[in-house]
Amino acid sequence: MLKFLIRRILLAISVAVCVSILTFGLLHIATDPAIAIAGEDASAEEIQSLRIAYGFDRPLYVQYADWLSKAVRGDLGVSPYFGLEVRSLIADRLPITIKLGSLSIIFALVLGIPLGVIAAIYPNTLIDRLSLSVAVFGQAIPNFWFGLLLIYVMSVQLRLLPASGTEGIQSFIMPMIVLGTNAVPAIMRLTRTGMLEVLGSDYIRTAWAKGMLPRQVYVKHALRNAVVPVVSVAAIQAAHMLGGSIVVEAVFALHGLGSLAYESILRSDIPTMQAIIILFSSFFIIFSALSDIANAYIDPRIRIL
Amino acid sequence: MTVDPFVNVEGLSIDITTARGTIHAVRDVSFTVERGKTLCIVGESGSGKSITSLGLMGLLPGSATRRAARLELGGTDLMALGPRAMADVRGSHMAMIFQEPMTSLNPSLTIGEQMAEMLTRHRGASRKLAFEKAAFWLQKVGIPAAATRIDQFPHQLSGGLRQRVMIAMMLMCEPEFIIADEPTTALDVSIQAQILHLLSSLQRELGMTMIFITHDLGVVSRIADDVAVMYGGQLVETAPTADLFARPQHPYTRGLIDCIPIPGKTKPGAHLGSIPGTIPSLMGALEGCAFAPRCAYAITECRSGKLELTPNSANQSVRCLHPIGGAQSLAVTMEETE
Amino acid sequence: MSDVSESFEIPKREAEPWRLLVGRMLHHKGVMIGGLILVVVVLAAVFAPFITQYDPLQQSLSGRLQPPFWMERGSADHVLGTDHLGRDYLARLLYGARVSLLIGFTTALISGSIGTFLGVLAGYFGGRTDSVVMFLVTVKLSIPTILVALAVVQLVGGSLQIVILVLGLLLWHQFAVVTRATTMQIRGMDYITAAETVGCSTFRILLTEVLPNVLNQIIVVLTLTMASAILIEAALSFLGVGVQPPTPSWGIMIAEGKQHLFFKPWLVMIPGVALLVVVLAINLLGDGMRDVTAPEKR
């Protein structure tokens, strides 16, 4: 187990480093950072002096090494657009994104798991096909449009929910639904498959033979065993939601990391872009490493090693 | 066969619908078991013996249909019970022990949790009392350090211990009737005898009626009061144990008995009897005797028409046009080895 | 035992006869419905100039914000109404379909080529090649797709070609994973060993034996990647990045219609429904192809 743990963590670190190198390279090759800061109509001398001042004239790998050495110590640079340290920008916007993300993943689980369980209990019936249709729709609908649709229905027609802003929990309901709906299909399908497999096993037959009631068999005996892979998938879906939050925060005017990313992209604010891309990647890398480790722990073959 | 049967099964038929056709897994099976006695159902894999027990318990898969003229347990008509009523009966008045102890316990619940829920469900006991009873029963079935085992998970116990847990768990509510479906087949030979002994003594102590399913005639000779032999989904012979071994009527039964090596009698290197051929397909209608293709005594009439289970003497019935006579030499042999 | 002097025959490949596959396709509801809708959309996009006489770029400041014909004050003149610059909405919808389909299809082809190439290599050669490819896949998975796409397209400058290129480089991972798994499966089969024994070059084996068998899986992933590409492009253009106005793209149409959401909701609804229908159709087709090419997994 220890050997596995070490290998998995090393893999995570090397992936993270690779991502940071790729991102750094991409961003610095895609555009001239000096022009980005100075503006399109600055004179050639202004641009050149900016270039030297910021160190953009150094070779790329030197710039990267410089960035990396500062980053591991928590210094993510300064945003040329906002004029603030990147890390305080992020710290400022992080709470809203965390709130939105947690609500969304909880919503996805609360909707997806029961749908999957019901689909497994009544396989190949109307209920099953309906749940599958919900899953298919959730995957196909463009999330920004879904958000606008919800706004139109809830805010305009029914006047139930606020269309934007962050006053209280109501402002998070529609964004939560939009973000969560993207993850429901995967969660629902996985629950359904897991439940179908578990329901065919011997110990479920034993539970029925004991005279246990359906509720006890499906939840206490079956779901407990079927839900394990779902949790790790949920973690990865949560990481994906970060990407979706860019659009959702834009539609609902929430000031989280997603909208920070959007703003920094529009302003060619490279340090901030870099930091956020690495941050989002890190979430995914950490969550998938955690879920791999958790799965390995459950699998006795790996645990003993 | 018996005067006041506790278990009364008449005309039980079970069909299973599959993509390739309907399987007639159990065809018109009837038997009775007297209170407190043990009936052994014997047969090869695919003879329908397990499905019969699942049919009794109401645990058939959705693709199966069950029909019976009579299916009674202690006077209660099991066919008339709805799902909730059946669930109340299962575990409480009738219990079942399965063949594979390694996979029949829930891997993510503790032993204590799986056992205690029997009492909280069927006897309305408190959790505390239920757990205490669970520990008591673990001791009763011979598991040492019961207090530690209560909080362990199934994967921490060996196959033999898990089967003991199964037995304890299923008997906790002291049901009147128990079905044991090859409970010792998956265990080491040394453990088999222990488990058999445990089951028998518990049966006697609780006064339970038992149906024991097996393919091992050695086990039958040890614990059965009566025997029912199944082949191709049908009962081909029923008899009290001693009579079955002394005077087997059906050629299949005779063949099964001949397969058993007798210590002291069978010479090393001698041919053990075997029954040539394979079990028949269970799809489609049955023409004549299911065993005819493999039977050394088969005559033309055996291959068509419908054969009935006909009583041969007071307690014995056989489904055969050509029942063989008793083998006195075999009776002597059995006595010698007992 | 066969006579040694008989000529050595390479056993027949296990790829399924096309006729059987097409037969199953024609009977699968998802494939037929999804495929039909897709064909209709493609035809509508291709023959747009014949369906509507309007130019999607032609503005008419006097005829702005007219509603579709089924609403009050709508007319058959502009079947789907006009937008805030007076441009005919049906025309913009149809020409927008061209953008979505073109991006979807081309991106899927590019990412398909990259992913299949890497996946087949990894599956066939195993060992270090496999580890490298899997590492690349892991890195790719860790990268937030929309975020990076947004960043790169915005920085380089938005245009149809840039979007296709960037998305093509970002969506290959599923191809790699699927083709790798299938290739590994095929690798162990007898007819591959036979081909190698006879002395076929690796390249030829990959081309003639491995690729046809992987084709089924590729088609499924192709459709699903196409759907992803269309959705991502729509999100990009909604956010003002990528395809630039006045080129009609459904994402841009939704963005432009957003400020009129309260009183003229059709500006947002129509392109959104179009997106939904197209993506649904592609998903239906893809899921159906998956069913049809691997029926035992259903």
The span from the CA of A145 to the CA of A150, in Å, is 9
Over residues C83-96, mean pLDDT? 87
pLDDT tops 60 at residue B311: yes
- Per-residue pLDDT tens for C175-188? 999 999 888 888 77
Look over chain B and give the mean of its residue pLDDT values, rounded to a whole number. 83
- Per-residue pLDDT tens for C193-212? 777 777 777 777 777 777 77
Q: Which has more confidence, C33 or B298?
A: C33
Contacts of C229 in chain A (CB under 8 A): none
The span from the CA of C30 to the CA of C284, in Å, is 5
A-C contacts (CB, under 8 Å): 126
Q: Which of A125, A197, A206 to mutate to test the interface with B (most CBs of B within 10 A)?
A: A206
What are the residues facing B235 on neighbouring strands?
B230
pLDDT at A302: 53
**Structural domain boundaries in chain B:** 7-105+177-266+274-282
pLDDT at A304: 47
Q: Provide the shortest C-alpha distance from residue B19 to chain A (in Å).
A: 15
Contacts of B101 in chain A (CB under 8 A): none
pLDDT at B273: 66
The span from the CA of A21 to the CA of A28, in Å, is 11
- How do the pLDDT tens digits run along chain A, 305 residues long? 788 889 889 999 999 999 999 998 888 888 777 777 777 677 878 778 878 877 777 888 888 888 888 888 888 888 878 888 888 888 989 999 999 999 999 999 999 999 999 999 988 888 888 888 888 888 889 999 999 998 888 877 666 666 676 667 778 888 999 999 989 988 998 999 999 999 989 999 999 999 999 999 999 999 888 887 887 788 888 888 888 899 999 998 888 899 999 999 988 888 899 999 999 999 999 988 888 887 777 665 555 43
Q: How confident is the model at residue C5 (pLDDT cuts 50, 70, 90)?
A: very low
pLDDT at B314: 64
Question: Could you give the 3-state DSSP secondary structure of residue B8?
Answer: strand
Please answer yes or no on whether C231 and A142 come within 8 Å at the CB atom: yes
Contacts of A201 in chain B (CB under 8 A): 103
The span from the CA of A227 to the CA of A294, in Å, is 13
pLDDT tops 80 at residue C12: no
Q: How many Cα atoms within 13 Å fall on the side-chain side of residue C258?
A: 20
Q: How confident is the model at residue C275 (pLDDT cuts 50, 70, 90)?
A: very high
Please answer yes or no on whether B98 and A205 come within 8 Å at the CB atom: yes
User: Which of A285-299, B90-104, B240-254 has the highest mean predicted lDDT (pLDDT)?
Assistant: B90-104
- Per-residue pLDDT tens for B102-135? 999 998 899 999 999 999 999 998 999 999 999 9
pLDDT tops 90 at residue B213: yes
Residue type, B197: H
**Structural domain boundaries in chain C:** 16-297
Q: Which of A238-252, B252-266, C80-94, C127-141 has the lowest mean pLDDT?
A: B252-266
- Per-residue pLDDT tens for B22-43? 888 888 888 889 999 999 999 8
pLDDT tops 70 at residue B336: no
Quick one: C16-297 is in which CATH superfamily? MetI-like (1.10.3720.10)
Q: Provide the shortest C-alpha distance from residue B88 to chain A (in Å).
A: 6
**Residue A273: closest CA among chain C residues belongs to which residue?**
C151
C-alpha distances out from residue B247 to B251, B259, C266, Å:
11, 16, 89
Q: Residues of chain C with pLDDT > 90: what percent?
A: 40
| Cα–Cα nearest to A143, from A244, A261, A255, A260 | A244
The contact set of C with A (CB < 8 A) is 135, 138-139, 141-148, 150-152, 154-156, 227, 231, 234-235, 238-241, 251, 254, 258, 261-262, 265, 268-269, 271-272, 275-276, 279-280, 283-284, 287
Over residues B189-196, mean pLDDT? 87
Q: Which CATH architecture has domain B7-105+177-266+274-282?
A: 3-Layer(aba) Sandwich (3.40)
Q: Which two tokens stand for residue A293?
A: 């480790």
Q: Provide the shortest C-alpha distance from residue A210 to chain B (in Å).
A: 4
pLDDT at C16: 57
The span from the CA of C133 to the CA of C177, in Å, is 9
Look over chain C and give the mean of its residue pLDDT values, rounded to a whole number. 84
Over residues B197-219, mean pLDDT? 90
CB C175 within 8 A of CB C221: yes
Looking only at the bridges linking them, the beta strands covering B310-311 and B38-42 are unpaired
Q: Which has more confidence, C135 or C297?
A: C135
pLDDT at A216: 92
Q: What are the φ/ψ torsions at residue B304 (nearest 5 degrees)?
A: -145, 170
Q: Which of B60, B104, B166, B171 to mutate to test the interface with A (most CBs of A within 10 A)?
A: B104
CB B185 within 8 A of CB B159: no
The position carrying tokens 């290197």 is B269
